[in-house]
Structure 1
């Protein structure tokens, strides 16, 4: 069994990944990682900044079974968090995932520092939701759901804005990057994730905009499973040895 821990994008809950279970093989255990302020953690305050959220996630991950095989995946803000978690676990001397999947995100060194300037009012945040796609229509039709989504998105944008890139040695694991061909993130900014990987790198492009992972959900999951297959086979071989 291999655990696939999934971090959500800005403004979303980790429940965005629940639908993936229908396409995953039995040897992949889907583990949506909920962030404070949403879903089952709705009563908790939002994270104040990127580094604090990464530290909190690493503290929570310390409860994982140490010998279990696992991979970490995140979309957009979740991709940046996945990299931050892997970096911090390495500093702490803790077990790293066998691979990380970074979807819909520029590499840390290629982040636009002006991306979140002035995006702190309802009108701008709502326009961002429409521009990126991926938000269910019922959210816009419900004042209550829209209020929760906008508050969460604003808090997550503050987390993203607080991110400061610190160059460090590549991670000793495989990085799999996923991108949308019609996303506004430049191709070279996605491919720059290769600089974070010392254990192997791949990039896979899908039709669609920023939320290609929803537009082509089944194809995305199938690609992830193909990337995980060698890790599963290695784990099975070790278990039989």
Structure 2
């Protein structure tokens, strides 16, 4: 069994990964990570300090790392997965089998997100959400749903915009990156993830825009499985 901790993108709850439990083989234990202020944690305060949030999550998941695990994050979730990996290492916890970053610029290439460091108005948030895609039109048409969604988006954009990259020793797990062929994120900023690991790197470009997570889901999961192994399967190093 391998535990797959999945971190959501801006504005999303852990439920976006619920269907993966049916689509991945039984040896993959899909564990969507719910962030404060949404889903079953709706009553908790939203966070705007990404490194602080990663440290909080590290404390919460520490007890669930008794078996091999991997980290996956899409967009904001990719950056959060990276900081979570560092927070877990700082606590002396086991290293993930792999870190998957999807539709996320490398931590060192996030200058384009600086404009999000200031709190966005409702109009600015709505315009950006439409531009990114991925938000059902029904959300914009439903005043109550929009009222619940905007504070989460505002906090999540601040998480991105106020992120302060710090160079640290490279991670000892491989980093596998996925990008959308029609996304605005450049191949260069995706490739820069390789500077964050000493254990291997790959980059795969999938059909679709920023939310190829949905449009190319089957291919994404296929590629991920190619980089994972059940806990009872020895590594290549052990076989050598």
Give TM class, smaller chain.
Answer: over 0.9
| Equivalent residues of 1:119, 1:125 under 8 A apart | no
| Equivalent residues of 2:50, 2:159 under 8 A apart | yes
* Structure 1 residues 191 and 115: CA distance shift in structure 2, 3 A: farther
Separation in structure 2 between the aligned mates of residue 5 and residue 13 of structure 1, nearest angstrom = 13
Runs of 4+ in 1 over 6 A off after TM superposition: none
* Structure 1 residues 59 and 117: CA distance shift in structure 2, 3 A: closer
Q: What is residue 49 of structure 1 aligned with on the other side? A: 49
* Structure 1 residues 115 and 103: CA distance shift in structure 2, 3 A: farther
Q: Which moved more, 1:155-164 or 1:4-13?
A: 155-164
Q: Which moved more, 1:203-212 or 1:119-128?
A: 119-128
The 5 A counterparts of 1:20-39 are 20-39=20-39
Cα deviation, 1:9-64, whole Å, max 9, x if unaligned, reads 11111111112223211111110000000001001111141121011001101111
Structure-1-length-normalised TM-score: 0.92
Separation in structure 1 between the aligned mates of residue 154 and residue 136 of structure 2, nearest angstrom = 18
Separation in structure 1 between the aligned mates of residue 44 and residue 145 of structure 2, nearest angstrom = 18
Cα deviation, 1:65-120, whole Å, max 9, x if unaligned, reads 42x01100001111111100111211221112111100111101111152415561
SS of residue paired to 2:108: helix
Cα deviation, 1:140-181, whole Å, max 9, x if unaligned, reads 221111121111000111122221111112100110101011
* Structure 1 residues 201 and 15: CA distance shift in structure 2, 3 A: same
Separation in structure 2 between the aligned mates of residue 137 and residue 64 of structure 1, nearest angstrom = 37
**Gap runs ≥5 in structure 1:** none
| Equivalent residues of 2:70, 2:96 under 8 A apart | yes
Q: Which moved more, 1:108-117 or 1:178-187?
A: 108-117
Whether 1:91 aligns to 2:70 is: no
Q: What is residue 223 of structure 2 aligned with on the other side? A: 223
**Gap runs ≥5 in structure 2:** 235-240
| Equivalent residues of 1:8, 1:75 under 8 A apart | yes
Q: What is residue 122 of structure 1 aligned with on the other side? A: 122
Give the CA RMSD over aligned residues. 1.4
Separation in structure 2 between the aligned mates of residue 32 and residue 25 of structure 1, nearest angstrom = 16
Separation in structure 2 between the aligned mates of residue 32 and residue 224 of structure 1, nearest angstrom = 16
Structure-2-length-normalised TM-score: 0.92
Cα drift, residue 226 of structure 1: 1.8
Q: What is residue 40 of structure 1 aligned with on the other side? A: 40
| Equivalent residues of 2:118, 2:161 under 8 A apart | no
Separation in structure 2 between the aligned mates of residue 115 and residue 6 of structure 1, nearest angstrom = 27
The 5 A counterparts of 1:3-82 are 3-66=3-66, 68-82=67-81
Whether 1:195 aligns to 2:195 is: yes
Whether 1:109 aligns to 2:108 is: yes
| Equivalent residues of 1:23, 1:222 under 8 A apart | no
Cα drift, residue 137 of structure 1: 2.3
